[in-house]
Structure 1
């Protein structure tokens, strides 16, 4: 598997994969010119490369993009068992303005939103099923911190009911992980997985293993969220 294909398998876009591959090529040219073995680069050698980029008056944010590329590259090298560490992990590029987050909702308020989600006595079973699905989505956002893309990519087999956990595939922004479900989520997820999802599929067959089924003909949850 090439580095580019590795990135694609991790969920990166074609454009990002090509950009990171070009960045790696630049690093490879630099290591060869300095008689450094690329795959076995040390922390100090990577730092020297950072200084090399800065000496060329490259913007800090662009330097950070080069480091992002190398971070994934050395992860790939480690997965191929060619080394057991990543020399870029403790390298942070200073001088980059970070976005500030405002109006953060605290945990008690989030839990109040979840427990206050009222399914109620809906007249149609279809609407009740959708409401219960929505509560599953709400719980995964609040307690497991999942985003829209991660919710869309969940499949039935990702739910580990016996363990009370859910598996989340890797994406271009995050690693794969297995997350614990809260006790009060487990029963709702179980009911949805074993009963409600089947009823939604029966109403509108989609031929997909996607966990969270939409009401319409498409498979994307954007409108539902």
Structure 2
């Protein structure tokens, strides 16, 4: 018998051979573990699965509450799994190759920053001017609590409980409110900003002559206490952040990266609360970012519609 030069490998090794990220591999293995549980309940072996069985699995995931986008992500991984079995000569064709998930809108996939990259942005940010300190406090709320820019702009001083180390994020028409714990180092820097630096910024004479000093309770303010130029503060912050890491695109990317990190640590309902999502489907959408390597490759070679 002629021995083949091809060396057998596990599905995890197959994913590694495709140069997927560690996060993508972990997510992929989790999806397949769930798929195998379903196969066992249906008394099916993976080698016996056909197109109709996969359609039933998609319906099963839908009944369990998964959105079409999440089902698309699951099927992307499953398609790779059967491609692996095909390479191992355990099956003669890939039953997932013709699967098409309907009703999925295109969504921009962000390059996900790993946790150490997020923390590096924060710790490498150096600017001891009053406005620089303000911007670093804002950056801390981006990389630790995943606040969006609208939530940052609406924060008020009374929303910060320095004694408890908690920030109270108010809900809106598009998001739920929640109370989030501040990291220990954030409490100290927030304390310094609220009680000292914010007052220094308020005391600065506005450059524009027609602007008057304002008294408002916005947490993040500009010269003279004005709070109507928040987008300028964010622009200044992003310019400095991109100098630290050129792969950073915007605040939405940072938020997506933090939510993706949370998905590796907590269940969907917990992440839904932390992110302030009104609907669980919004949280599920970030599973695509968690499996970005898998999905990008599948969409490039095997579009799912």
Alignment of 1:44-63 (within 5 A): none
- Structure 1: how far apart are the matches of 2:114 and 2:182? 19
Alignment of 1:123-138 (within 5 A): 128-138=129-139
Larger Rg: 2
- Give the aligned partner of residue 190 of structure 1: 191
- Give the aligned partner of residue 232 of structure 2: 223
Decide whether aligned partners of structure 1 residues 176 and 201 sit closer, same or farther in structure 2, where only a CA change above 3 A counts: same
CA contact 1:114–1:138 (8 Å) conserved in 2: yes
- Give the aligned partner of residue 215 of structure 2: 207
- Give the aligned partner of residue 163 of structure 1: 164
- Structure 1: how far apart are the matches of 2:146 and 2:172? 14
CA contact 1:139–1:185 (8 Å) conserved in 2: yes
Residue in structure 2 matching 1:118, options 118, 126, 129: 126
Q: Which has a greater percent of helix?
A: 2
- Structure 2: how far apart are the matches of 1:134 and 1:148? 12
CA contact 1:154–1:212 (8 Å) conserved in 2: yes
* TM-score (norm: length of structure 1): 0.53
- Structure 2: how far apart are the matches of 1:160 and 1:172? 24
- Structure 2: how far apart are the matches of 1:108 and 1:176? 28
- RMSD of aligned Cα (Å): 2.1
Offset at residue 98 of structure 1 (A) = 4.5
Offset at residue 218 of structure 1 (A) = 4.9
Higher relative contact order (CA 8 A, sep 6+): 2
- Structure 2: how far apart are the matches of 1:114 and 1:140? 10
Offset at residue 195 of structure 1 (A) = 0.9
In structure 1, the residue corresponding to 2:168 is in which secondary structure? strand
- Give the aligned partner of residue 146 of structure 1: 147
- Structure 1: how far apart are the matches of 2:154 and 2:110? 28
Offset at residue 219 of structure 1 (A) = 2.0
Residue in structure 2 matching 1:99, options 99, 103, 107: 107
- Structure 1: how far apart are the matches of 2:229 and 2:152? 9
Offset at residue 161 of structure 1 (A) = 0.3
- Give the aligned partner of residue 181 of structure 1: 182
Superposed CA deviations along residues 25-71 of structure 1, whole A, max 9, x for unmatched, are xxxxxxxxxxxxxxxxxxxxxxxxxxxxxxxxxxxxxxxxxxxxxxx
CA contact 1:152–1:220 (8 Å) conserved in 2: no
- Structure 1: how far apart are the matches of 2:177 and 2:131? 28
- Give the aligned partner of residue 279 of structure 2: none
- Structure 2: how far apart are the matches of 1:102 and 1:210? 30
Decide whether aligned partners of structure 1 residues 97 and 107 sit closer, same or farther in structure 2, where only a CA change above 3 A counts: same
- Structure 2: how far apart are the matches of 1:137 and 1:208? 18
CA contact 1:201–1:213 (8 Å) conserved in 2: yes
Offset at residue 191 of structure 1 (A) = 0.4
